[in-house]
Amino acid sequence: MVWKTLLRHCIAQPAAPRRQDPAAVAALRQRLAAAGHEKLGRSLAIRHVAAGSCNGCELELRATQNLIYDLTQYGLSFTPSPRHADVLLITGVAGGNMIAAARQAREAMADPVLVLAMGDCAVDGGVFKGSPAIAGGAEAIMPVDLFVAGCPPEPAQIIEGLLALLEVNDILLARPVRVPR
């Protein structure tokens, strides 16, 4: 069973890889160039922090790693330690109970860091906008570089956003170290 399936995979044609969303790249390039950003490599390690999500975004984020989307083919991978991470990926509304922990994760990362807010909740609170229990989106608790909207965004959209980070990354020069607060 195991061997047969593995063999089938070896001879199967893989799906064509995805491309970054050009609009997102252009917008991000402008934004980061204005801020001046230190160069990172072509391979980014991502630390995901769920800051008050409904867990729908996590399901789709996990799906980017499956056999169809295969995130690692682009040089993107998840890491458990913020110390090893280049990208902080935030899902959820930035709930009051997660503000301190999310900021600690950001502080534990070595600059330069790219921050991506994924899902409508992380963009601006989504349907939970206005609840007194939340800060209302990742930007309310730290500077954010890129937003990927959707409730939840589909795996293809998430990958396009991450590829945009890769794309702008190699043209940018020294950006001052940012300390969140």
Residues lying near another protein in the complex (CB under 8 A): 1-2, 5-6, 48-63, 65-69, 78, 80, 92-93, 95-98, 100-102, 105, 127-128, 130-134, 151-152, 154
Residue with the two structure tokens 């399936």: 5
* Nearest to ligand SF4 of 112, 137 (CB atom): 137
Tokens at 54, concatenated: 């409904």
Bridge partners (DSSP) of residue 88 are 47, 115
Number of residues that bind ligand SF4 (CB under 6 A): 12
Is the distance from CB of 136 to CB of 98 less than 8 angstroms?
no
The yes or no reply on residue 120 touching ligand SF4 (CB under 6 A) is yes
Residue nearest to ligand SF4 (CB): 56
> Taking CB under 6 A as the rule, does residue 121 contact ligand SF4?
yes
Query: Which two structure tokens, joined as six digits, stand for 144?
Result: 């954010």
Is residue 153 classed as helix, strand or coil in its secondary structure? Answer: coil
Any contact of residue 91 with ligand SF4 (CB under 6 A)? yes
CA dist., res. 114 & res. 140, Å (int): 16
Nearest-10 crossing angle of helices 155-169, 22-35:
40
State the nearest-atom distance from the C-beta of 176 to another protein, in Å.
Answer: 26
With CA atoms as reference, report the closest residue to 24 among 88, 129, 102, 118. Answer: 118
Taking contact as CB under 6 A, which single stretch among the options 18-26, 76-84, 102-110, 118-126 is the one that binds ligand SF4?
118-126
**Would you say 119 or 161 has its CB closer to ligand SF4?**
119
Token pair 């909207």 is at which residue? 149
By CB under 6 A, name the one of 82, 112, 152, 155 that touches ligand SF4: 152
Element (H, E) at 46: strand 44-50
Within 29-58, the residues that bind ligand SF4 by CB under 6 A are 53-54, 56-57
Binding residues vs ligand SF4 (CB under 6 A): 53-54, 56-57, 91-92, 119-121, 126, 151-152
